[in-house]
Amino acid sequence: MGGDIGDTYPVDPLFQELYTSLGGKARLGPAISPVIQSGDGQQQYVEAGLLVFDPLAPNNERYRLAPLGLEFDIEEPLAPDPKQPGEKYTGEHVVEASFLELYEALGGARYVGLPLTDTRYNPERHRTEQYFENLGFFRPEEEPGGEVRLMAYGAYACNRRCRYQSPNNSIPGERNVLLAPFDLAVRKIGWDITGRVLAGPSLAEDGRQEVIFENLVLVLDRNLPGGIKIQPMVEMLGIVEEPLVEPQHSSWMVFIEISDGKGHNVPKYFMDFINRHGGLGLFGLPISEVRALTPGVYQQFFANIGLELNLNRPEGSRLSLIPIGSKYKEQYYQPEQDFVRSQRLDNVKLVPYETITALKKNQSQIIVVAIYQDGIPLRNREPILVVEMPDGSQLTYRFLPTDSNGNTSFSLPPINVPPRTMIVYRVCLVAQVGHDKCVEDNFMIWN
């Protein structure tokens, strides 16, 4: 893990054997807290996790890692078994080949815990990652074939109690990196096809949400199963649809008929790749014949995606997707408009709610608010909470900035009022452009 930044401690002799067996400092990072008494047992934070000794547990479970990953708000549907060689299916999610070596070296489910997610690309932190119950794995983007490392679960969970700062790219995130419909679509298509996220979710010119990837653009369409479609953008980029042609009747070509016996010829090498990655339903129909750009370099465009074959590259890396998403972003994405739109509160929706329905006297109420604009979560917004007291006074608080899902919360101090008192509150968002937006709600304090 990264170099020491902040206070570190000796690993307590109680945990030394477990710490060493799991790779010691090179893998788990340094100890970042003293031993902490927890009930009848002891705990000690290391950068990557929390070492636990529970004398009341069965003998083989007395020394373990705490399931810190369960504290993250990460929900992914169970994945079917892909039955791929070199991967491990746990009954819920897949540990892919590149992470499996470290997973097994750390004792598998015994110490790592079960996976909470499939392997996925995190565009915010530029890494491939996978969350498990006790530890988190990641591989930095700049090292696609490099070493798999552990996220800083321990440093993140210990927070301000531990005066230790981990490298930014090792910090776990609490939310899914894409909104649910896009996230599900990308995991179905595959990051190797979509490429990295370049922009979004943002509003396209037609008002729909879109995410721009290197190789394609996904658009939210709630009228479709799954709610996502691929933007047919090749023609939008000025790539002209060629006239349809007759079949070539060649053994190395596949003819795709489009109209009246005419269509386009696709190299069998291309079609094999297309069929392995979603078929023409994903790529779209061909709009051109294959063309030679330079000696040994060939391209062909489909409605949604472009393919390039470069025979000058090593075997295994000759076929690639053309990064037309980058060109689309240059032509159509306008971040300054997104910024201005985000500063206004037009079409902004505040959704506050309380987490405790039957609040007792002297109990803290937690107010949660979600903030959306045109259905897109707004992050880094700091709403105001105004509580109307029965005596006519007001208490004003500021929420923490909203996360990537547009959510934030505030824990109100206990309010000392008689039972069956209604407390009215307002959640307000201050506009930098235009008028403020407020939503009023209430809760009851019971016996």
pLDDT per position as a tens digit, 104-135? 999 999 999 999 888 877 766 778 889 999 99
Structure confidence at residue 250 (pLDDT): 86
Residue 341: per-residue pLDDT:
47
Is residue 310 in a domain? Answer: yes
Residues 34 and 65 in one domain: yes
pLDDT at 332: 78
304 shares its domain with 227: no
CB burial class (10 A; 0-12, 13-18, 19+) of residue 225?
exposed
In this predicted structure, what is the pLDDT of residue 336?
Answer: 46
- At which of 278, 296, 323 does a domain end? 323
Q: Are residues 279 and 214 in the same domain?
A: no
Lowest pLDDT segment from 81-95, 319-333, 415-429: 81-95
pLDDT at 348: 79
Whether the per-residue pLDDT at 266 is higher than 90: the answer is yes
Q: Give pLDDT, residue 212.
A: 87
* C-beta of residue 407 within 8 angstroms of C-beta of residue 369: yes
Q: What is the pLDDT of residue 163?
A: 67
Q: Mean pLDDT score of the chain, rounded to an integer?
A: 82
Tokens representing 219 are 């658009």
CATH of the domain at 410: 2.60.40.1930
Question: How high is the pLDDT of residue 421?
Answer: 84
Q: What is the pLDDT of residue 195?
A: 80
| Predicted pLDDT of residue 143 | 62
290 and 309 co-located in one domain: yes
Look at residue 23 in the predicted model and tell me its pLDDT. Answer: 94
Residue 247 belongs to a domain: no
Question: How confident is the model at residue 245, as a pLDDT?
Answer: 92
Domain that holds residue 208: 180-238+331-335
DSSP per-residue string spanning 295-349: TTEEEEEBSS-EEEEETTSPTTSSEEE--HHHHHHHHH--HHHHHHHHHB-TTEE
Residues 6 or more apart from 335 whose CB is under 8 A from it?
199
| Residues 15 and 99 placed together within one structural domain of the fold | yes
Q: What percent of the chain stands above pLDDT 90?
A: 27
366 found inside a domain: yes
13/143 same-domain check:
yes
Instruction: Collapse the DSSP code of 194 into the 3-class scheme (helix H, G, I; strand E, B; otherwise coil) and give the result.
Output: helix
In this structure, the answer to whether residues 34 and 134 fall within a common structural domain is: yes
Mean pLDDT of 33-56: 90
95 and 155 part of one domain: yes
Number of domains making up the chain: 4
Q: Is residue 245 part of a domain?
A: no
In whole angstroms, what is the distance from residue 128 CA to residue 299 CA? Answer: 29
Percent of the chain whose predicted confidence (pLDDT) is above 70: 83
Q: Are residues 271 and 407 in the same domain?
A: no
Half-sphere exposure of 376 (CA within 13 A, CB side): 21
Same domain, 192 and 49: no
* Mean of pLDDT values over 177-188: 72
Same domain? For 140 and 220 the reply is: no
Q: 239 with 287: CB under 8 angstroms?
A: yes
| Chain segment 331-389, per-residue pLDDT in tens | 877 664 444 444 456 567 888 888 887 777 778 888 989 887 766 677 778 889 999 88
Most confident of the ranges 44-58, 80-94, 403-417: 44-58
**What is the per-residue pLDDT for 75?**
58
Instruction: Indicate if 20 and 135 belong to the same structural domain.
Output: yes
pLDDT higher than threshold 90 for residue 78: no
- pLDDT level of residue 39 (50, 70, 90 thresholds): confident
Mean pLDDT of 403-420: 84
Of 323, 351, 375, the domain-final residue = 323
pLDDT(3) > 60:
no
| Amino acid making up residue 423 | I
> What pLDDT score does 339 carry?
43
Of 312, 335, 358, the one marking the end of a domain is 335
Tell me which amino acid residue 164 is.
Y
Residue 248 covered by a domain: no
- Predicted confidence at residue 24, as pLDDT, reads 94
Question: Does 243 fall in a domain?
Answer: no
Among positive and negative, which fits the CA dihedral 211, 217, 222, 226? negative
